[in-house]
Amino acid sequence: MIPPRLEIRNIASSYDGMKVLNDISLSVQPGEFVSILGPSGAGKSTLFRLLTGTKSPDAGEIRVDGKMLGDASPAFAFMPQRDALMPWRRIIDNTTLGLEVQGMSRKQARSRVQPLFAEFGLAGFEQHYPAGLSGGMRQRAALLRTVVQERPMLLLDEPFGALDALTRAGMQRWLEGMWMRHDWTAMLVTHDVREAVSLSDRIYLLSPRPAEIIRVVDIPLARPRVLGGTAGAEAAAIEHSILETLLNLTEDMKP
């Protein structure tokens, strides 16, 4: 039996004496798109810090393809909230940065990245600086920098949060298409219910801190996701149900 790409078992984590995550367990199968959704401050980003190794859990374990996280080969390619493009490097050299950090020569890194520029909608902009690109193009460049590392799993930390609503919707549709085409495995952290429903196979809802998983929502909608018709109504109903869960939780916490 093939193990999950990612398996988190009974993770707990604290920060500065405050408990942030409490007994978190979840799994992601190869080729799945899973989202972590919850209120601000619920520990979504803390979970990513645990996965990327910048923080150690207080309890529990993390496995990648059946191996303990520390024993597995580098598993995650991380895309942060902001594009984090270096303004003094041209786009071609921003997208190769992760490969260069891993020890690949600039020439080799460029050879790997260059064929992907057209697919990412960046053909002709290789020699531009980030300041000359739109917000959506910058995010595509940041995603290209992430996926070209060819890690088993993508970690996406609210990657479209800084974009305007129209650009964000377009980027979500584009990301879904790329994910389907390349069979990526991805985990998205977001507080945007619509974004989570639009992109995910499954959503884990977190409570406020100390965060626990209060509900797991499977999204049975066909892909590619569409905005209108029956599928649009089904998506709206799922969104409403999730919002009700989160709002009721907030009400329960009031004194």
CATH code at position 211: 3.40.50.300
In this prediction, residue 83 carries a pLDDT of 86
Which of 32-41, 97-106, 225-234 is predicted least confidently? 225-234
> If you average pLDDT over residues 104-133, what whole number do you get?
93
Pick from 9, 20, 21, 22: nearest CA to 61: 9
224 assigned to some structural domain: yes
pTM for the full predicted model: 0.89
For residue 199 the two structure tokens come to 């992109």
The 3 state secondary structure assigned to 157-182 is ECCCCCCCHHHHHHHHHHHHHHHHHH
pLDDT value for 43: 84
Q: Is residue 105 part of a domain?
A: no
Domain-embedded: residue 132: no
Number of domains in the chain: 1
Evaluate whether residue 109 is within a structural domain.
no
Residue 146, in any domain of the structure = no
Q: What is the pLDDT of residues 185-197, one digit of tens each?
A: 999 999 899 999 9
Q: Is residue 84 domain-resident?
A: no
User: Please, which pLDDT band fits residue 255 given cuts at 50, 70 and 90?
Assistant: very low
Geometric angle at alpha carbon 60, from 54 and 62, rounded to 5°: 60
Task: Give the separation between CA 91 and CA 139, rounded to whole angstroms.
Answer: 11
In a domain, 103, yes or no: no
Structural element, H or E, at residue 120: none
Q: For residue 110, is pLDDT > 90?
A: yes
In a domain, 83, yes or no: no
Range of the domain at 232: 6-75+151-253
Instruction: Give the whole-angstrom CA distance, residue 81 versus residue 98.
Output: 17
Rounded CA-CA distance 95/198 in Å is: 27
Cβ contacts of 193 within 8 Å, gap of 6 or more: 37, 239, 242, 243, 246
The string of pLDDT tens digits covering residues 11-58 is 999 988 889 999 999 999 999 999 999 887 788 888 988 998 888 899
Average pLDDT over all residues of the chain: 89
- The band of 224, judged by pLDDT with boundaries at 50, 70 and 90, is confident
